[in-house]
Amino acid sequence: MIAGEPLDLDEKKQQAADWFRQLRDDICQRFEALEEAAGESQLADSPPGRFERKPWQRPEGGGGEMGLMRGRVFEKVGVNISVVHGQFSEEFRKSIRGADEDGRFWAGGISLVAHPHNPFVPTAHMNTRFIATTKSWFGGGGDLTPMLPDTEAAEAFHAALKTCCDGHDPAYYPKFKEWCDSYFFLNHRQEPRGSGGIFYDNLETGDWQADFAFTRDVGCCFRDSYCQIVAERMNQPWGEAERHAQLVQRGRYVEFNLLQDRGTLFGLKTGGNIEAILMSLPPEVRWP
Amino acid sequence: MIAGEPLDLDEKKQQAADWFRQLRDDICQRFEALEEAAGESQLADSPPGRFERKPWQRPEGGGGEMGLMRGRVFEKVGVNISVVHGQFSEEFRKSIRGADEDGRFWAGGISLVAHPHNPFVPTAHMNTRFIATTKSWFGGGGDLTPMLPDTEAAEAFHAALKTCCDGHDPAYYPKFKEWCDSYFFLNHRQEPRGSGGIFYDNLETGDWQADFAFTRDVGCCFRDSYCQIVAERMNQPWGEAERHAQLVQRGRYVEFNLLQDRGTLFGLKTGGNIEAILMSLPPEVRWP
């Protein structure tokens, strides 16, 4: 336990970690159900995919479980959970909330990146986490990246997130949407990575139960909204031109993740699990 | 002209720029000849490629010419030349030789990245440049990245570079080989990007003609050695397993260029020509 925190911090960590695992199980089940359901399309010739899980240990403390599915609806989708703890190096302490004088930390979370096979099905990303240093807070979000223009999907996704946010605080959606837009922006191309969503960090309102409930809702909202978007599009026929456009668009995803994404760069620099970190990269990409 | 330099600096710039252009013309011609020659293989169904050239202007001063060929031997190869000049921002001055007190600079160079279609033909990179601040120097090098293990190609390439270097200074090859090995190393995977080659920078021995002659020889040596390696392998049959291994290996190339390559990151951060800078990225890649 870290000095200065209320006595039940360990219980909070446990509840958060349990939730991330439950959400992981739930999402994997829903994604596998979509794999089963996609029988009446170009995808019918391939067998439905199943997640393969692979635990990993972090030498410095903790570890996680990767879940990877190479399916017919989801050409590649990773759903990872992790609970890690340790001590931030001097180099990182100043840039991390509450770690300036005491480098000990605990971090639990879930992260997901889905690269569907069908170019008409948007790529999606979701991540939520609970972090404890001398302070403790929630962070995360979800965002959608259509490979071909898809206003309808973007609107449905944002509407679902707005409803989710508004149920907790009417200030959340506008603030977290803007945060997402400014974060997922490719500086060198001066273009957004996708259609956005929400992104939040340092969420510590003083009411832990409320913050935790919001984080749970973000996960559920993402799951339900994205599964519906996938289900509505996965059987739509596509051709080589759409596939090509998709593979080129995926290049932007790679550029963002390797050039800018703080989580990716932080993980690679601090000796994180390479396989888990780079699971976000698309299965096939083109820079023609 | 920059204060403090000998009177003939402008002539040096002109001679260097003329050479980079001549080498570019020469290499493009040789690569197009290889495209023509590759008739008796899996590649025979595709037409031989031709370079397309595209000039670009840099708003701050100077510009360049991109050369891109999407062929049958070379799935994608970029050969770019540029001559740019201007003023380094305060931010960069301290990290650039001779620019600390006077931020004016001139830089001319050629850069090449070749991604062959046939997985048995190694990927290659070459770049040489002449840079002038209050100091002036040459830099560059060439390196080979086999997509499938190819000791023979690596040995032939290194032998040619050693002969080239030894003709100028016996200390060059060991020093520049090691520089290359340490530069083209993927930190997060703890693995070399390829089979190496040579890399040099800040070459200013006091004998400009000798330094220029060395830089010309590096370009010619790369051209001759690489063209021979390509010619010997381009008609070799391959299958889906080799193609898959190639596409995965190309992923490492992308990771290096976007995570570590100083030239790429510097160019993207300083508003360089995105299209020219990212021409190095492979046409098709897999992260399975």
Q: How many CB pairs under 8 A join A and B?
A: 59
**Beta strands B136-145 and B185-186, pairing class:** unpaired
DSSP structural state of residue B48: P
Residues in chain A with CB shorter than 8 Å from the CB of B70 are 288
**What is the predicted pLDDT for the residue at B2?**
52
DSSP string, A48-93: PP--EEEEEE-TTSEEEEEEEE--SSEEEEEEEEEEEEEE--HHHH
Instruction: List the single residue in A258, A269, A283 with the smallest CB-CB distance to B288.
Output: A283
Is the CB of residue B126 less than 8 Å from the CB of residue B229?
A: no
pLDDT at residue A1 greater than cutoff 60 = no
Amino acid identity, position B8:
D
A170: left (phi over 0), alpha (psi -120 to 50) or beta: alpha
- And the tokens for B195? 């089979």
Contact of A30 with chain B, judged by CB distance below 8 Å, is answered with no
A126 CB burial (10 A radius; 0-12, 13-18, 19+)? buried
- pLDDT, one tens digit per residue, over B217-233 is 999 999 999 999 999 99
Instruction: List the single residue in B188, B258, B284 with the smallest CB-CB distance to A274.
Output: B188
Residue A197 lies in a domain: yes
Is the CB of residue B77 less than 8 Å from the CB of residue B112?
A: yes
Beta-sheet strand order (sheet of A136-145): A52-57, A62-69, A74-87, A104-116, A123-132, A136-145, A196-203
What mean pLDDT is predicted for residues A7-14?
89
What mean pLDDT is predicted for residues A97-102?
87
Mean of the per-residue pLDDT values of chain A = 94
**What is the predicted pLDDT for the residue at B33?**
98
Report the domain count for chain B: 1
Contact of A282 with chain B, judged by CB distance below 8 Å, is answered with yes
Residues in chain A with CB shorter than 8 Å from the CB of B276 are none
Residues in chain B with CB shorter than 8 Å from the CB of A69 are none
- Nearest chain B residue to A76, by CA: B288
Higher pLDDT pick, A101 / A69 = A69
With a CB cutoff of 8 Å and minimum separation 6, the contacts of A230 are A34, A73, A116, A121
The backbone torsions φ and ψ at residue B106, rounded to the nearest 5 degrees and listed phi first, read -135, 135
**What is the predicted pLDDT for the residue at B5?**
52
Contact of A254 with chain B, judged by CB distance below 8 Å, is answered with yes
CB contact under 8 A, B281 and A288: no
- pLDDT, one tens digit per residue, over B160-216 is 999 999 999 999 999 999 999 999 999 999 999 999 999 999 999 999 999 999 999
Look at residues A122, A79, A81 and name the one whose alpha carbon lies nearest to residue A226. A122
- pLDDT, one tens digit per residue, over B34-71 is 999 997 778 888 899 999 999 999 888 899 999 999 99
Residue B250 distance to chain A (closest CA, Å): 11
DSSP structural state of residue B279: G
The percentage of residues in chain B with a pLDDT greater than 70, rounded to a whole number, is 98
- And the tokens for A30? 């829903």
Residue B175 lies in a domain: yes
- pLDDT, one tens digit per residue, over A33-83 is 999 999 777 888 889 999 999 999 988 889 999 999 999 999 999 999 999
CB contact under 8 A, B251 and A281: yes
Cα A33 from Cα A19, distance rounded (Å): 21
**What is the predicted pLDDT for the residue at A127?**
96
Residue A75 lies in a domain: yes
Is the CB of residue B243 less than 8 Å from the CB of residue B148?
A: no
Cα B83 from Cα B65, distance rounded (Å): 9
Quote the pTM value. Answer: 0.92
Instruction: List the single residue in B70, B251, B258 with the smallest CB-CB distance to A259.
Output: B258
Which of 97-116 (B) contact A at CB < 8 A? Answer: none
Q: Which domain holds residue A152?
A: 9-280
- And the tokens for B284? 């098709």
**What is the predicted pLDDT for the residue at A176?**
98
Residue B3 lies in a domain: no
Is the CB of residue A131 less than 8 Å from the CB of residue A125?
A: no
- Marked catalytic residue, from B115, B117, B125, B158: B125
Strands (E), A181-262: 185-186, 191-192, 196-203
Contact of B191 with chain A, judged by CB distance below 8 Å, is answered with no
- pLDDT, one tens digit per residue, over A102-146 is 889 999 999 999 999 999 999 999 999 999 999 999 999 999 999
A222 CB burial (10 A radius; 0-12, 13-18, 19+)? buried
With a CB cutoff of 8 Å and minimum separation 6, the contacts of B142 are B124, B125, B126, B127, B161, B197, B198, B218, B221, B222, B226
- And the tokens for B30? 């040789």
Contact of A221 with chain B, judged by CB distance below 8 Å, is answered with no
Beta-sheet strand order (sheet of B62-69): B52-57, B62-69, B74-87, B104-116, B123-132, B136-145, B196-203
CB contact under 8 A, B284 and A247: yes
pLDDT at residue A6 greater than cutoff 70 = no
Residues in chain A with CB shorter than 8 Å from the CB of B251 are 281
pLDDT at residue A7 greater than cutoff 70 = no
Residue B33 pairs in a beta bridge with: none
**What is the predicted pLDDT for the residue at A92?**
78
The CATH number of the domain where A52 resides is what?
Answer: 3.40.1500.10
On the CB side of B32, CA atoms within 13 Å amount to 13
- Nearest chain B residue to A244, by CA: B284
Which of 151-170 (B) contact A at CB < 8 A? Answer: none
A38 CB burial (10 A radius; 0-12, 13-18, 19+)? buried
Contact of B258 with chain A, judged by CB distance below 8 Å, is answered with yes
Instruction: List the single residue in B187, B268, B287 with the smallest CB-CB distance to A278.
Output: B287
A112 CB burial (10 A radius; 0-12, 13-18, 19+)? buried
Cα A113 from Cα A66, distance rounded (Å): 12
Higher pLDDT pick, B257 / A92 = B257
Look at residues A142, A125, A140, A110 and name the one whose alpha carbon lies nearest to residue A19. A110
With a CB cutoff of 8 Å and minimum separation 6, the contacts of A25 are none
Cα A253 from Cα B62, distance rounded (Å): 31
Instruction: List the single residue in B254, B274, B288 with the smallest CB-CB distance to A254.
Output: B254
**What is the predicted pLDDT for the residue at A101?**
85
SS (H, E, C) A100-152: CCCCEEEEEEEEEEEEECCCCCCEEEEEEEEEECCCEEEEEEEEEECCCCCHH
- pLDDT, one tens digit per residue, over B101-116 is 888 999 999 999 999 9
Look at residues B163, B215, B147 and name the one whose alpha carbon lies nearest to residue B155. B163
Amino acid identity, position A109:
G
Instruction: List the single residue in A70, A283, A287 with the smallest CB-CB distance to B278.
Output: A287
CB contact under 8 A, B76 and A288: yes
Residue A286 lies in a domain: no
- Nearest chain A residue to B247, by CA: A284
B117 is an active site residue? no
- Marked catalytic residue, from A115, A125, A168, A244: A125
pLDDT at residue A279 greater than cutoff 60 = yes
pLDDT at residue A169 greater than cutoff 60 = yes
Is the CB of residue B142 less than 8 Å from the CB of residue B156?
A: no
3-state secondary structure of B236: coil
- ipTM score: 0.91
Cα B130 from Cα B140, distance rounded (Å): 9
Tokens 């609107």 correspond to: A155
**What is the predicted pLDDT for the residue at B1?**
45
Is the CB of residue A25 less than 8 Å from the CB of residue A65?
A: no
Residue B287 lies in a domain: no
